[in-house]
A and B are shown apart, each in its own frame.
Chain A
């Protein structure tokens, strides 16, 4: 075990993947010699050469299309989109190409092994072009897998599983936690299975569900709730698509209450999908309406970021309201 922050864990995962499999290749804007603007690919070019870790021209649609082509040929591209806010020029390549490669060809061709890594989320005074959480757009696209880790240990295991996956993956990294989140991480190779949620804390009164950087927000809210005698069960969804319905259902059948938290705006956010499924599967067991604590339905602000975000106080209030309903 070694103490790592999330960037180091991601860098370590990429290093191990490249060492293990010569078809793994990392690229993106500033990814080569410089090691990426956040340094997630630091030293990889030095170690594996310019053919396997390199800068691309400044074109997200080019990066995504190039990655599709490499993956179709059988290699494993790990392409970085510098900020998730800048993934949209690549939307066509990802939604119409990456996601449908296998399906449209009757499995003659596929892009399994392709991973798009991209930093997402707020909390860095980035305003609306450096703070967005666009996971719901991609969750609406069958054929993709969408993953969000919460800490260094999770990031490494989930990224290695993503690279090993037979399906293309979008891997959203909570940039707020890149350096802020640290923890013990095994130095050897390990995978954390995709599509499986984790019950992080068991409780009996209310289920609290989140992913990525919102987990620590929910942990604070749960502590506040505990002081009021409310017992919360905390679930990290980890995988947005496919999502682990059974784990959430099992928890809500026990607690009868569900509070979902995400950074992205409320309307059209993935919490809506979860709420619809859970009310169908758990209808007769629900003690209160499923609550969503999310960003407002506006672009991500700058000066009023603190007011906008789905913070621990709003989450705590939702937990209390759910229990007192």
Chain B
């Protein structure tokens, strides 16, 4: 018999609902707060170099975030978004990938970007929207992107990358590449229509995507319990017919393990996987936000104890891979390097006037050329009003 509904029919003769909470997905934890491994758990097979690269990526982002939020408060950059509390989720997942796997992030995944090798100078150039920024100074701070390291440029509208990741991964498959796409988004963005479209299309067309949901408890001020009524996000994957896994997003070993397993599955079967990281957005949504208007300090303090870096650090020290004192000195040195890089980047010129019209199309259309000519003449007439560009006409 054909199955036109594509639904399993196991017949019953009395009416009974399936509960909306019938499916509860457990949370993978490997690393305990004290830096030891949970009884019965096994640490993933990590070599020292990789393990340290993961650690240094996390601590780099922690220090960068602190410094650049301060720079925003000083008025040196216009905007900033921290990754505080989610360093392990973004670094641990990126570490489990191949360097040529595509990353399609939302905007709070600087940990993954750093792990891929985005340099301090590149971070600074984007944050100061100067002429060395790969994005040509066009986007607000933290909207990074780099073709070289397979990191798709961030777009502010939420969830738009989800169906794009399905399409990108499908193209990777058709091209015969042994690579996957990882797609990061928040539990808030999972409410966008694009989430449904993306997951369903990836499942139907068998696209090797890792949908990585950072469930961090808040979409700006909106807590997750006002965002959805089901059991987190992971269970939705099952609804689309894909494998799903949930892990403690502050446990980098769990994140690494889950992502590695998901990647292996996607490569082997071309099936997408939905991963859900449970962590907490310890910082504000952005520098424009003030969480004191919607959550308590007590709640924040409770989650602050769940620090993703400290427990991993303890694990590394216990293994003899990290020296406590040397690491502290290194972090202090890093603060200095970041400040130096900041001072350099803020003095680099803004992009030239020609970049006002470049990249709208592959080549500027005649009307844009005309508009630019007219604008240049205007700027020459009022040079004081346009100090960024008038000196370079």
Contacts and interface: CB of A to CB of B under 8 A. Distances in A.
The answer on A and B forming one complex is yes
Contact of A299 (B130, B360, B381): B360
A193 interface: no
B158 A33 contact: no
Interface residues of A, number: 41
Contact of A304 (B79, B222, B227, B351): B351
A29 B386 CA distance: 37
A70 B288 CA distance: 32
Given A58-B158, A59-B191, A296-B356, A33 B221 contact: yes
Nearest to B365: A297
Nearest to B222: A55
Contact of B189 (A32, A58, A304, A314): A58
Interface stretch (B272-280, B297-305, B314-322, B371-379): B371-379
B193 A296 contact: no
Contacts of A296: 356-357, 368, 371-372, 375
B385 A308 contact: no
B220 A129 contact: no
Contacts of B155: 129
Contacts of B189: 58
Interface string B217-261: 001111000111000000000000000000000000000000000
Given A58-B227, A303-B350, A298 B367 contact: no
Interface stretch (A103-111, A120-128, A253-261): A120-128
B382 interface: yes
A188 interface: no
Given A33-B221, A307-B389, A298 B368 contact: yes
Interface stretch (B133-141, B169-177, B335-343): B133-141
B219 to A, nearest CB: 5
B156 interface: yes
A303 B351 contact: yes
Given A58-B189, A85-B157, A306 B386 contact: yes
A311 B137 CA distance: 21
A89 B192 contact: yes
A267 B227 CA distance: 39
B191 A58 contact: yes
Contacts of A136: none
Contacts of B288: 37
B221 A34 contact: yes
Contacts of B382: 313
A298 B350 contact: no
Interface in A12-44: 29-30, 32-35, 37
Contacts of A288: none
A125 B157 contact: no
A88 B194 CA distance: 12
Interface in A251-301: 266-267, 296-299, 301
B356 A298 contact: yes
A66 interface: no
B385 A313 contact: yes
Contacts of A129: 139-140, 155-157
B375 A307 contact: yes
B129 interface: yes
Contacts of A299: 138, 360
B140 A304 contact: no
A266 B389 CA distance: 22
B188 interface: yes
B318 to A, nearest CB: 41
B138 A37 contact: no
A298 B351 CA distance: 15
Contacts of A298: 356-357, 360, 368
A85 B139 CA distance: 14
A61 B197 CA distance: 13
Given A129-B155, A296-B368, A307-B353, A30 B222 contact: yes
B219 A29 contact: yes
A229 interface: no
A46 interface: no
B192 A307 contact: no
Contacts of A130: 140, 156
A58 B219 contact: yes
B386 A89 contact: no
Contacts of A267: 367
Contacts of A128: 138-139
11 contacts: A29-B222, A33-B294, A37-B220, A55-B222, A58-B227, A62-B191, A86-B157, A125-B140, A127-B143, A297-B367, A304-B388
Interface of B: 78-79, 129-130, 136-140, 143, 155-158, 188-189, 191-194, 219-222, 226-228, 288-289, 293-294, 350-351, 353, 355-357, 360, 365, 367-368, 371-372, 375, 378-379, 381-382, 385-386, 388-389
Given A55-B226, A58-B222, A303-B350, 9 more contacts: A33-B221, A58-B158, A127-B138, A297-B360, A303-B130, A304-B351, A304-B353, A313-B382, A314-B378
Interface of A: 29-30, 32-35, 37, 55, 57-62, 85-86, 88-89, 125-130, 266-267, 296-299, 301-304, 306-308, 311, 313-314, 317
Give 10 closest A-B pairs by Cβ, nearest first: A303-B137, A129-B156, A34-B221, A57-B191, A58-B188, A125-B78, A58-B191, A303-B129, A303-B350, A127-B140
